[in-house]
Structure 1
Amino acid sequence: MTAPAVPLVDSHCHLDRLNLEAHNGDFEAMMAATADAGVSHMLCIGVDLESFPQVQGLAERYDNVFASVGVHPLYKESREPQVAELVERAAHPRVVAIGETGLDYFYAREQRDWQQRYFVAHIQAARETGLPLVIHTRGAKDDTLALLREHGGGEVRGVLHCFTEDLDMARQAMDMGFYISISGIVTFRNAEALRETVRELPLERLLIETDSPWLAPVPYRGKPNEPRYVAQVAECVASLKNVSVETLAAATAENFFTLFNKAQP
């Protein structure tokens, strides 16, 4: 597709983990292709504390890249996050969010105790810093919402990223001030339930993302994902919302900078 006249924002990607084969291993070529696709800004997400320096380094190197700090709920091998360390690392001017954090009972149902402990630490860090949470939630609707209510105290905000849960969960999260981010999954043939949910979500609470290098949208499914493919996500979501790609791009970019208000466009 032709790049939209209005720039796109990839609200969730893992630039430190991209497969660069399509660019002969050249990171700068990947960044140029991303710009050519109309993507103006990216949020590079931290998944463990050990690799966080690389995430932070990318945000320091590129003016259009921001960073988050956190431990993914499937990364038990990471050093356990402590509130004080998360708060300290979040003080960096390029770090605009806490996470990726959350609960994943789909892949790790038997590991609830440590997942919940890690999640609470992130909630407390978000509450202390005032930064938004980037939440991964899968098969853990009730506990995710309950822990946010119990430990957030109505003082945390954020995004449910790569959303695949039901409309009721989205609405409960939005009632708490959260946004909903849609990934390339929305383009998959078997994702009609998600498409129905997206049709019902208010445009003013939507974000779009790639979650690259995973979950490449159609027509790139099965190939390494990249931030430039957020254009395909935008096209699909715009169609579901019955708006132009430019309208969708403008709304989701505004939503991004409203939520991640430490980031500067």
Structure 2
Amino acid sequence: MDNSVIDAHIHFDKYKRITREKIIKSLDKYHIDALISVSINASSARDNLKLSKENSKVKPAFGFHPEQTFPDIAEVEMLLKMMDTYHSQMVAVGEVGLPFYLRKENQELPRQPYIRLLETFIRKAKQLAKPIILHAVYEDAPIVCSLLEEYSIEKAHFHWFKGDEQTTERMIQNGYFISFTPDIIYKPKRDALVKKYPLTQMMVETDGPWPFDGPFKNILTHSRMVHLVIKKIAEIKQIEEAVVYQQIYENTKAFYSI
């Protein structure tokens, strides 16, 4: 486990303080060079900014997670102001997107306000020349692709992506990135996407503290798990591990300019 890795998507602010401290102390041991810590709202963004000042390996992204009640104007304005004020510390706009799972619970939930909000964040990413981190799965993904194309966004990261083959091909052609989580270890249905997507457009993530099943059941989600994700990608794509390690590491550093 001597190869360096980057956790390309983690909610580091959502861990308990004592757990964060333990994870930070273990980063060097597991050769984890950086944590791309995404935010779910303005308060979360402030917390991630603070964490990044405490440890330079924490790289904050500011955004509003779509799987929650629609924000008021003050919340959105606060986030946009933070993006402007701390753009040099912020590595990306995110996590933003559309509420797929929320709409499954409430089919009467209107999607259009979330689309307009996402468009606001896309415009801000374009203005600040920052990457954008997206929560956009299944039938929401084509809508998001159209918005990204409209604003000529090149650096888009669809985290934990799930979608149809046509959308996947569209994302590949547009140069968008996706990231894989520890679930590929125990979910064979992810193999097809791993095989299809170019290694040059891949990253790895934990989405921690989100818990996983299989061999990770009842185990705290730790960024060291991405080592196993990389090994699995190498196995599925039948590429040497060292090559996969290096390519994914370079992909992530270049994408986030870290």
**If the length of structure 1 is used for normalisation, what is the TM-score?**
0.86
Paired residues of 1:184 and 1:230 also in contact (CA < 8 A): yes
Q: Give the C-alpha shift of residue 13 in structure 1.
A: 0.5
Matched, 1:99 2:98: no
Q: Which residue is 1:44 aligned to? A: 37
Change (3 A) 1:90 1:158: farther
Change (3 A) 1:29 1:84: closer
Q: Give the C-alpha shift of residue 86 in structure 1.
A: 5.4
Q: Which residue is 2:26 aligned to? A: 33
Q: Give the C-alpha shift of residue 63 in structure 1.
A: 1.7
Which amino acid counterpart does residue 162 of structure 1 have in structure 2?
W
Distance in 2, matches of 1:155 and 1:165, equals 20
User: In the TM superposition, what whole-angstrom CA distance separates every residue of 1:32-79 from its partner, at most 9, and x where no partner exists?
Assistant: 333322222111111111221110111111122211000011132544
Q: Give the C-alpha shift of residue 183 in structure 1.
A: 1.2
Q: Which runs of no fewer than 5 residues in structure 1 stay unpaired?
A: none
Choose which of 231, 234, 237 in structure 2 pairs with 1:235.
231
Matched, 1:224 2:220: yes
Q: Which residue is 1:17 aligned to? A: 14
Q: Give the C-alpha shift of residue 134 in structure 1.
A: 0.2
Q: Which residue is 1:54 aligned to? A: 47
Structure 1 residues 146-185: aligned runs within 5 Å:
146-150=146-150, 152=151, 154-185=152-183
Q: Give the C-alpha shift of residue 124 in structure 1.
A: 0.4
Which amino acid counterpart does residue 31 of structure 1 have in structure 2?
I
Which amino acid counterpart does residue 186 of structure 1 have in structure 2?
I
Distance in 2, matches of 1:187 and 1:145, equals 28
Change (3 A) 1:218 1:249: farther
Distance in 2, matches of 1:101 and 1:43, equals 14
Paired residues of 1:218 and 1:232 also in contact (CA < 8 A): no
Paired residues of 2:67 and 2:100 also in contact (CA < 8 A): no
Q: How many residues align?
A: 250
1 or 2, which has the higher helix percentage? 2
- Give the share of equivalent positions with the same residue, in percent: 20
Which amino acid counterpart does residue 185 of structure 2 have in structure 1?
T
Q: Which residue is 1:199 aligned to? A: 195
Paired residues of 1:18 and 1:224 also in contact (CA < 8 A): no
Paired residues of 1:86 and 1:98 also in contact (CA < 8 A): no
Q: Which runs of no fewer than 5 residues in structure 2 stay unpaired?
A: none
In angstroms, what is the RMSD of aligned CA positions? 2.1
Higher relative contact order (CA 8 A, sep 6+): 1
**If the length of structure 2 is used for normalisation, what is the TM-score?**
0.88
Change (3 A) 1:132 1:26: closer
